[in-house]
Chains A and B, each alone.
Chain A
Amino acid sequence: MRLGSIKFRLCALVLIVGVLAAWPLAAIRTASALNLIPRSIEISTAEPSAIAAQLFQFTYASTSSIGSVVFNYCDNSPLFDEPCSAPPGLNVLAASLDSQTGNTGFSIDGVNSTSSRIVITRAPAGTLATASSYSFSGIINPSTPGSAQYVRISTHATADGTGPETDRGAVAFYILTPFQVGAFVPPFLSMCAAITVAIDCSSGAGDQIDLGTLVTSQARTATSQFSGATNSITGLGVYTLGPTMTSGNNIITALSTATPSFPGFSQFGINMRDNASPDIGSNPDGSGTATPALGYNTPNFYRYQPGGIIASSTNPTDYTRMTVSYIININANQRPGVYATTVTYLGLGQF
């Protein structure tokens, strides 16, 4: 028991003496290194695990001989006297030194660098107390989002990053998950039809046309309008639904192919162009890209195909207003009666 007490006291004494002996060394180590001021790190991306470029900028404080600069990455503390915990996911082994300014002549020290520590080296040479920069690329960011990361920068007289620090200072950067902004654009199709409509379908008027008395000597004409727009990436199609003009069992022949107006012949047709014979209609207007379909897009030629497509766009289109020109001719054998039809315009988009 007494021997144990003596041993304990001896051990305590040795420990105290040892600490006291080492204290000046620690103090010297701390006091001898000057601060790199100002200093900063600029990262190309804060995204976790992304391949990043990093630009270090700092001003040397000392003018003594420097052979290496150490960039030591830690996720626990910027303090040099604290143990360094390597950031999870960080890998600087593939880092390349792309450019350097100020105190130059360094290259990557592949022997003394690790996955969390870059050492750049040169033959020891005097330094200028001047602003310097070192740009690295090929660094794989730490993987922990929302985490602070520190880089302890130190200069050394040796070429391998060992020995006392000449100048030193820490910088910090943050790893963040990218921020996302979302929005939704709904499917959209707008269409209107009337005797007259506004291009943007904000208004329309009329739903009946009276052609008066049909004669064989000249075509009877009339117009109506429709307009449409869509954000369907495949555009829209406009169809006509409804038969040709009829009066009981008597009909006026619908023009199944594009045909000029011939008074004295039984004809019912439409197109969407500015015509001269007869003088009727207008070309499409508006900022949209829809166009009349084949058979309806040639001035002075008319066609009517029930259920057929009369206009379309192949892309999203802003409003396109089309003026539908109607021509009706009869022959001498046309039976008397009241001829009428209801034409329905159907717009379809593919979403």
Chain B
Amino acid sequence: MLKINIARNRATKRPLYLLATLLVVLGSLLPLLSFREASAAQLTSRSLTLSSAVPDATGLTFTYAFTTQTTAAIQSIELEMCTTAVLGTTCTAPAGCTGGANNCINAGTEASRSGWTNATTFARNATGGGGCTPANNVLCLDRTQAANETAGARTLGWNTQRNPNTANTTFFIRITLYSGAAWATTVDTGTVAASTAQSLTVSAYVAEVLHFCVGSTAANNDSDAVGASCANISGTSINLGVLEDGVTNISPVDASPYNGDDLNGIAMIRTNAVNGATVSYKAIQQSGTNQLGTLRIAGASCSATTTDATDSCIEAQGTTQAAFNATTYTGDHFGMTIAGINCSSVTSYTCDFDTPAHNLVRDAEYDGNGTNNSFVTEANQVSGATNAGYAWDASGTSDQIASSTGSASKVIDDEALILKFAAHSAITTPFGTYTAQGDFIAIATY
């Protein structure tokens, strides 16, 4: 009995199910019917290109691209910025495009175009009319151009636009083309979508860099390899060999017959200090009496008169460079110069001493011969006057010898100062082993 009753109930409800199904089908077809009623074709190949997707960005250009389906005049356009796409439904302005001064698209002029049959440009109409009412999210464009636009692809760029203010939010712009100038007769329609995007900030930090080293090198020019970096620089001394009266020993001094070590000094520096760097030295004050910072016998008692050639201190040239002439000068002399800038280890920029093109510049008292692109090549024993000038500040105060602070580019990539030392003894310079010591200091200003 129960089963029979159920069968009866289902039979009685079947017409209701059929009616509901019919309504659903008809409802789904309703939009199609309504479009047909408006006589508008759908724009194809539609797109919107934003000049920026940053939320709330202003001064943007929105460029629309679409293909019209109908050959007809296009004298007015309505552009609606909405949170939903479907034409004919209520348009809600995206966040940031409502109220007060939050105008998003109702501004600007035509910025670009292509594909249009007629050259007459569109202009913003602040009053609107017919189907277009200007608002923060509604832009009404019109022009007077009765001639038909041939169906086809075209673009329209509009400037002074503004994005919604919420990141990563999709918004839609509904496009309606009208044949008349009063937004009355629809031609083609379509909707484009775009989205704001959270701008991504990429940050990094470059640490302060200072690599500075002093050592010895066999290089006696501006191009021979001296080591790729400070890690490849070694040595803490050079040997000028045996000094003789009447000749000046200049590094590098050959081992035979002069008993030198065939080495120059080298000071290499690398820094990213944008305000440049300087290289200075201080003569270490040795034990003894007087002239403690010059080439001397450690512990010796020397004269307070630096020109005394009978004591165990070789006269330091001082801070003014001068050529040495062991033939004519009866005393003894010691000095240093920067023979040139060796660029062989520079990889970050073009560096060439001869050009000259280097960031590290020699101080005027340590530039050898007064020019900034001529390497001092003299070596071993030189009779008569030396080609280059030499200086040595024995006072123990800091004396700058090179700097990049005055260069256009102040950072330095392993530029190397080739340090050349010179000394000659007098006939009365007491025999013995002479040494001078330099405390080299680099100062980088970041």
> Could you tell me which A residues sit within 8 Å of B by CB distance?
37-47, 57, 77-79, 146, 148, 150, 169-174, 176-188, 190, 229-233, 287, 289, 315-319, 351
Contacts and interface: CB of A to CB of B under 8 A. Distances in A.
A315 B212 contact: no
Q: Classify chain B: how many residues form its interface, as a range.
A: 35 or more
A232 B436 CA distance: 21
Contact of B241 (A148, A171, A184, A319): A184
22 contacts: A39-B445, A39-B446, A40-B444, A45-B441, A78-B207, A173-B210, A174-B442, A176-B214, A178-B437, A178-B439, A178-B440, A180-B438, A181-B436, A183-B240, A183-B249, A183-B314, A183-B423, A183-B434, A184-B434, A185-B243, A231-B430, A317-B310
Nearest to B431: A187
Given A38-B275, A170-B208, A181-B239, 20 more contacts: A38-B446, A45-B441, A57-B445, A171-B446, A173-B210, A174-B213, A174-B441, A176-B213, A180-B238, A180-B438, A181-B421, A181-B437, A183-B242, A185-B429, A185-B434, A186-B431, A188-B427, A232-B430, A316-B430, A317-B310
Given A171-B444, A176-B213, A318-B428, A182 B207 contact: no
Contacts, number: 178
A230 B245 CA distance: 11
Nearest to B443: A42
Contacts of A148: 210-212
Interface residues of B, dominant DSSP: strand
A231 B265 CA distance: 29
B210 A45 contact: no
Contacts of B435: 180-183
B236 interface: yes
A168 to B, nearest CB: 12
Of A77, A173, A184, most B-chain CB atoms within 10 Å: A184
B67 to A, nearest CB: 47
B237 interface: yes
A351 B435 CA distance: 20
A43 B442 CA distance: 9
Contact of B431 (A39, A57, A171, A185): A185
B349 interface: no
A37 B259 CA distance: 50
Contact of B237 (A79, A169, A179): A179
A316 B445 contact: no
B431 A231 contact: yes
Contacts of B419: 179
Of A45, A180, A186, A188, most B-chain CB atoms within 10 Å: A180
A141 B291 CA distance: 26
B259 A181 contact: no
A79 B212 contact: no
Which 10 A-B pairs rank lowest in CB-CB distance, beginning with the nearest? A172-B210, A316-B428, A40-B445, A180-B237, A183-B240, A174-B212, A187-B431, A316-B310, A78-B208, A178-B437
A185 B430 contact: yes
B343 to A, nearest CB: 21
A286 to B, nearest CB: 11
B187 interface: no
Nearest to A183: B240
Nearest to B234: A146
Contact of B437 (A40, A79, A146, A179): A179
Contact of B427 (A78, A146, A187, A231): A231
A188 B236 CA distance: 29
Interface string B214-232: 1100000000000000100
A22 B114 CA distance: 52
Interface in B90-118: none
B312 interface: yes
Contacts of A172: 208-210, 271, 444
B431 A188 contact: yes
Contacts of A185: 242-243, 425, 429-432, 434
Contacts of B186: none
A198 to B, nearest CB: 14
A42 B444 CA distance: 8
A177 B236 contact: yes
Contacts of B244: 186
Nearest to A175: B212
B340 to A, nearest CB: 18
Nearest to A190: B427
A229 B209 CA distance: 55
Contacts of B214: 176, 179
Interface in B279-320: 282, 284, 295, 309-310, 312, 314
B431 A183 contact: no
B443 A41 contact: yes
Nearest to B205: A79
